[in-house]
Amino acid sequence: MTRPLSLSITGIAEIPDKGLSAAVLPWQWPILALSVAYTGTETTIGTGTVLYATYDGSPIYRHITTAETGGYPDEDAFYLTFEDGVLSDKVAQRGQ
């Protein structure tokens, strides 16, 4: 018999109005990758591509590098801030 997956996480400090942990935690990347709504806007920066999205009504940015190791991008991560071509406030990274 298969049971539906249930995930409950408590005791984690959250970024106000974002619902995301201030720390880069391993379980956050798959949740974000499946939950964000992409806006269709993207920007190319020196290290790769930044995809614009929303998560729970707030903007979030996915950075995918052009550099690869073993067929995977060196970084596939979500950030809360993207200003003047600079990403900051990383909340999730694939493989961490």
Each residue's pLDDT tens digit, 8-28: 333 333 444 455 655 677 678
Q: How many domains does the chain have?
A: 1
What CA–CA distance (Å, rounded) separates 42 from 10?
34
What CA–CA distance (Å, rounded) separates 7 from 61?
24
Query: Does the residue 48 lie in any domain?
Result: yes
Q: Could you tell me the CA-to-CA distances from 71 to 32, 51, 63, 74, 77 in Å, in that order?
A: 22, 20, 16, 9, 16
Query: Does the residue 13 lie in any domain?
Result: no
Q: Do 94 and 29 contact (CB within 8 A), yes or no?
A: yes
pTM above 0.85, yes or no: no
pLDDT score at 28? 84
pLDDT score at 23? 63
**In the structure encoding, which two tokens stand for residue 13, read together?**
């400090």
Q: Which domain holds residue 78?
A: 36-93
Each residue's pLDDT tens digit, 28-54: 889 899 999 999 999 999 999 999 999
**For the chain, percent of residues with pLDDT exceeding 70:** 72
Query: Does the residue 12 lie in any domain?
Result: no
Query: Does the residue 80 lie in any domain?
Result: yes
Q: Do 61 and 47 contact (CB within 8 A), yes or no?
A: no
Query: Does the residue 47 lie in any domain?
Result: yes
